[in-house]
């Protein structure tokens, strides 16, 4: 798993790029990123499948905030990002990954 952040000079946002290997995605056919930045909607930020079975996706998020998120593979398997800035407890008894910008 990996997260890359690139702060844009032209506007007050950071481009956040997510990448999952085939193994990290548990050989899923589809992976989405869900979080408070997209109202936890699994249809909003679908990751692009790559030829090697990995997935990638980039989004622009406003600077100066923290964003909770998780991945969901094949609409059933939820998992966190190991390289997130931190993990916090959720109200569902699990934890969420957090990006700090």
Q: 33: domain CATH number?
A: 2.60.40.10
Whole-angstrom distance, CA of residue 94 vs CA of residue 101: 23
**Residue 93: which pLDDT band, with cuts at 50, 70 and 90?**
confident
- Whether pTM > 0.75 for this model: the answer is yes
3-class SS at 36?
Answer: helix
- Residue 94 is inside which H or E element, if any? none
pLDDT at 39 over 90: yes
Domain range for 89 is 2-100
> Mean pLDDT, to the nearest integer, of 24-49?
96
Whole-angstrom distance, CA of residue 7 vs CA of residue 54: 25
CA pseudo-torsion sign 73, 76, 81, 84: positive
CB hemisphere CA count around 47 (13 angstroms): 30
**Residue 85: which pLDDT band, with cuts at 50, 70 and 90?**
very high
Q: How many domains is the chain built from? A: 1
CA nearest to 87, candidates 65, 64, 69: 69
């Amino acid at each position: 798993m990996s997260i890359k952040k690139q702060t844009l000079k032209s506007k007050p946002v950071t481009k956040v790029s997510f990448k999952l290997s085939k193994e990290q995605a548990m050989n899923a056919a589809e992976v989405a990123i869900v979080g408070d930045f997209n109202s936890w909607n699994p249809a909003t930020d679908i990751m692009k499948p790559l030829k090697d079975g990995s997935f990638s996706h980039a989004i622009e998020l406003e600077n100066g905030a923290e964003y909770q998120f998780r991945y969901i593979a094949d609409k059933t398997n939820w998992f966190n990002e190991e390289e997130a800035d931190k993990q916090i407890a959720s109200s569902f008894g699990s934890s969420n990954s957090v990006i700090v910008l």
